[in-house]
Amino acid sequence: MDWRKTWRAGVTPWDAGTSPPALRRLVDRGAVPSGRILVPGCGTGYDLATLARTDREVVGIDLSEDARKAFVAAYPELPGSVVYEVADFFSYAPARGFDFVWDYTFFCALDPDQRTSWNQAMQRLVNPGGLLATLLFPFEDPISGTQGPPWPVNTAMVRSYVEDGFEELKTTVVGRTHPGREGKERLVLWRREA
């Protein structure tokens, strides 16, 4: 999939116009730590706005300059430090790692042959003791579909990529979600091992 081309053409059917309820719940419950936060494949940046707070440095990355422009137009001012970078996740090399990474269907959007590279990047980007939150969609157990993106996934599949370096903390069946995704999302929290 050529993500730059889809943004340029304005063909973004995955854009729900707001952050997912699962992220808003995490923020409201105080489950998102302060410190440095990364949102890969952040698109229009709704999640950056949801995560913005004075005690956080929120960084969003996406391949598309058009997506970044949409973010800047929608959010001219946010609390705290929010940075949107046009960058390739796989080669992204910030000076410091992150305390929390929010993967909202980013893993699911990647071609299956990129998943090992996704894990290597997460190992590099998430600080020891830091959290990785993966919102998986479309969740299938067992997996029956082979079409994507988004590619059908389940917790065992993601676990097979992160088992060396991350501890699974909790898997939650997502109740409230965007229309059309009911019963098809799981939120999995992982801790980067020291």
141-180: pLDDT as tens digits: 777 767 778 888 888 989 999 888 999 999 988 888 777 7
**pLDDT tens profile 36-94:** 999 999 999 999 999 998 889 999 999 999 999 999 999 988 877 999 999 999 999 99
Residue 29 has pLDDT above 90, yes or no: yes
| Nearest-10 Cα torsion for 66, 67, 70, 72 | -100
With 0.85 as the threshold, say if the pTM is over it: yes
Q: Which helix (H) or strand (E) holds 60?
A: strand 56-62
Largest CA distance in the chain: 44
User: Which pLDDT score is estimated for 13?
Assistant: 62
Burial of 37 (0-12, 13-18, 19+ CB in 10 A): buried
Strands 81-86 and 98-104: unpaired
Domains of the chain: 3-8+19-192 (3.40.50.150)
Taking phi over 0 as left and psi of -120 to 50 as alpha, with beta for the rest, 40 belongs to beta
